[in-house]
Amino acid sequence: MTKRGAPSWWTLDNAAKIFPSTSSSYDSKVFRFVCELHEPIDPQLLQAALDKTVQRFPIYRAVIKKGWFWYYLEDSALPIQVRPESLPPCFPIYPSTRRSLLFRVLYYRNRISLEVYHALTDGSGALNFLCTLVYEYLLLRCPDKLSQSVPALPYDASRFQRHTDSFQTYYEKPTGTFIKRSPAAYQIRGERLPRKHLAILEGRMLLEKALACAKARGVTLTELMVAVLLWAIHAGMRVRDRKKPVVVTVPVNLRNYFPSESARNFFATTNVSYDFSKGEDSLEAVLKAVRQSFRENLTEERMRAHMNALCALEHNVPLRLVPLPVKDIILWVANRLAKRGVTTSFSNVGKVSMPEEMEKLIHLFSVFTSAGMPQACACSFGGQYVVSFASPYRTRETERVFFRELARMGLDVVLTTNLTPGRE
C-alpha cells in the first residue's frame, strides 16, 4: 500500500523513455553492480537490510505500466526478496510476461549483486542504492567490528531529492539544433553466445599505478582507457573495415555539472571517434585525439546543450500526442539508427565511497552492463581499479589486446571471468 503523502506513480525521466521500447532478449538494458565482502553473505540479514533500504528508495517498488502516450512507473505491493544467484548475468527484467519489479538483489558466497533495469535509474543512482544496502547489511552483520557510534550513511539525500526528475528541473528550451547524425561506425562482429547469455571478463589493477600511468602520458585515467580501447579495437579490424571510424560512446554523469542528488537517470553521452584510415595508428596519436575530444566536449555548455536537445523531443507537442504503439516503432527505429554510429561504450562510474570503518570489511566493487555489443565499465574502491567487459560474443580479441597493452605499460592486471561453455 502506498504511504500517505507518497506518489502512487511517476513519469519516466527523459533518458528512461527509450528503454521500454528498445529492450530485447539480446539487449536487456540491465546493468549489474557487485560488492564483494570478506565474509560469506547471510541471506536473512541481507533481506532485512534490503527491506530498510527500499524504505529510503520507494521508487524501487515501482513497475512499468503503459499509458496512452508514454510508459510510466506505478507503485506496487509486490514482494521484494533477495535471491541466490542462478540466472545468467544481466538476465532480462523487462519486457516480462508478468508484472515485475525493475531490479533484483542476488547473493553468491561473499558477493552481493544489484541488477537494475535502466529505465529505473542510471549507474550513479544504482550505486547509491547498493552502497546504502551494503551499509545496512554491515550494520547487522558485523556490529562487533564497528565502533559504538553508527557511521554516517554514504548517501543521505532526502526522499524528495532522490525522486526528483533532474531533466525536468534543468531543462531550457534550446535555441538551435545540437544533435547531429553521425556517420556509420565500425561494428564488432563475432559468433554469438546463446540468447540472454553474456561473457564477462574483469581486470583488476592497483589504482595508484593506473593513475600514475595516465599522468605520465598527460591524460586522465578515463581518457587513457578510452584510447587503449579504441586502439585495441583497431588491432582486430580487417583492412577493408578500416575506412570506418571507431566510435566509443561515454556516458557522462550530469550530476557533475548540475546540483542534483537524484536517484533516477540523469546522464548524457559523448562520442569519442577516431578514423584510423585518416590518422596515425599509434597509441600516442589516439591518446592525443581522445584528450582533445574530452577537453572540447566535456564542458557545462556542451552538456547543457546536449541535455536540452534531448529533452526538446519530449516537449514537442505533436510528438507527445502520438499514441504509444507508434512511439514504440519510432523509438525502436531511432535506436537502431543510433547504434550504427557507435562501436562500443566505456562507462567510468568513478570512485565508490563507503564509511571509513566499513571499507576494511569490503574487498571490492565492480560494474558491468548488458548490451548487443561488447561494452566496458570501470570503477575504483579501496586502492583497486576494476575494468569489466561484457560481451555477447564468444571471441574476446578486443579484450585480450586491451589488457595486454595495459600490462605492457607496467600495470599488473589480474583477470577473472565467468564460466561460459564453448568460450574461446
CA-CA distance, 349 to 326, in Å (whole number)?
Answer: 34
pLDDT of 132 reads 95
Contact 249, 415 (CB under 8 A): no
pLDDT of 183 reads 81
Q: Which residue has the cell 567490528?
A: 145
pLDDT of 148 reads 64
Q: What pLDDT digit, counting tens, does each position of 335-356 carry?
A: 888 889 999 999 999 999 999 8
Q: In whole angstroms, how far apart are CA 372 and each of 26, 49, 218? A: 6, 33, 33
Residues in the chain with pLDDT values less than 70: 1-7, 96-97, 148-149, 176-181, 419-424
Give the type of residue at 264: R
- What is the DSSP code (8-state) at residue 298? S
pTM: 0.92
pLDDT of 421 reads 47
pLDDT of 39 reads 94
Q: In whole angstroms, how far apart are CA 114 and each of 2, 84, 240? A: 24, 12, 41
pLDDT of 229 reads 97
Angle 364-367-369 from CA coordinates, rounded to 5°: 165
Output the nine-digit C-alpha cell for 396.
574476446
Q: What pLDDT digit, counting tens, does each position of 389-408 carry?
A: 999 998 888 999 999 999 99
Output the nine-digit C-alpha cell for 397.
580479441
Residue 100's Cβ-count burial label (10 Å; 0-12, 13-18, 19+) is: middle
pLDDT of 408 reads 95
CA-CA distance, 128 to 262, in Å (whole number)?
Answer: 10
Q: What pLDDT digit, counting tens, does each position of 251-268 carry?
A: 999 999 999 899 899 999
List the end-to-end C-alpha distance of the chain, in Å, as a whole number. Answer: 50
